[in-house]
Structure 1
Amino acid sequence: MIFPPETVFIRSPEPLTTEIDGEVVMMDLSSSAYFNLDSIGTAIWGQLETPTRFQDLCGALHARYDAPLDIIRRDVAALLADMLTHGLVRKEVP
């Protein structure tokens, strides 16, 4: 699923997070679930500290990494969908 470009994402405040060796580790106390983000997932998590549109997030990653924009959109959408399922991020459609 690719999200509409104007969809806004932001972190959920619930998971406890820490950074270890450049990667984010999260623990959701309500479900006792543990999550680990690699370096790219950590970059996405950093961008979501403030509300960020899907198109802006993908554009920032495209500028930072040498990958085709359509691949970035697909991979970012998959990660965000998974994070939504686990309550790690919230989304708003203006």
Structure 2
Amino acid sequence: MMIKKQTISLSKLIVQGKGNIVSDMDGERVMLSIYNGKYYNLGEMGGAIWDHIEKPVSVIQLVTRLMSEYEVEQSECEEQVISFLETLLEEGLLEIGEEVSS
């Protein structure tokens, strides 16, 4: 039986996974997963994304917020955000909700 790999689309609702400890080290956001005992360096942009997904938000809302904070093209922002979120998802650090209708 194949396990369907969840994919992240712009209309999906996303939220931080539970049970992660996040702290600042020299301006970089570092996270410890209490599930797998691994450390992750989120970096500046990753840290900003992490802060924005504390409450459920759609990926497109997240992209819009980041574009207002950073000088970044929409296509590039979408690509980087989805790539980062997929990494979080693979590591079990992200929860995905339903699609939201625009």
The TM-score, its normalising length taken from structure 1, stands at 0.89
State the match for 1:63 in structure 2: 68
* Percent of residue pairs bearing the same amino acid type: 24
Distance 1:23 1:47 in 2: 16
Distance 1:72 1:39 in 2: 14
Aligned with residue 79 of structure 2, among 74, 77, 80: 74
Greater mean alpha carbon deviation, residues 40-49 or residues 15-24: 15-24
- Structure 1 counterpart of 2:17, which letter? S
State the match for 1:52 in structure 2: 57
C-alpha displacement of 1:20 = 2.4
Q: How many residues align?
A: 93
Find the residue that maps to 2:35 and give its secondary structure: coil
- Structure 2 counterpart of 1:93, which letter? E
Greater mean alpha carbon deviation, residues 11-20 or residues 58-67: 11-20
**CA offset digits 1:47-68 (Å, max 9, x no partner):** 0111010000001111111111
- Alignment pair present for 1:27 and 2:35: no
Please list every run of at least 4 consecutive aligned residues from structure 1 whose deviation after the TM superposition is greater than 3 angstroms: none
Aligned with residue 83 of structure 1, among 73, 81, 88: 88
- Structure 1 counterpart of 2:57, which letter? T
Aligned with residue 16 of structure 1, among 7, 21, 35: 21
Instruction: Let me know the Cα RMSD of the aligned residues.
Output: 1.5
Structure 1: gaps spanning 5 or more residues: none
The TM-score, its normalising length taken from structure 2, stands at 0.82
Which of structures 1 and 2 has the bigger CA Rg? 2
8 A contact 2:8–2:85 mirrored in 1: no
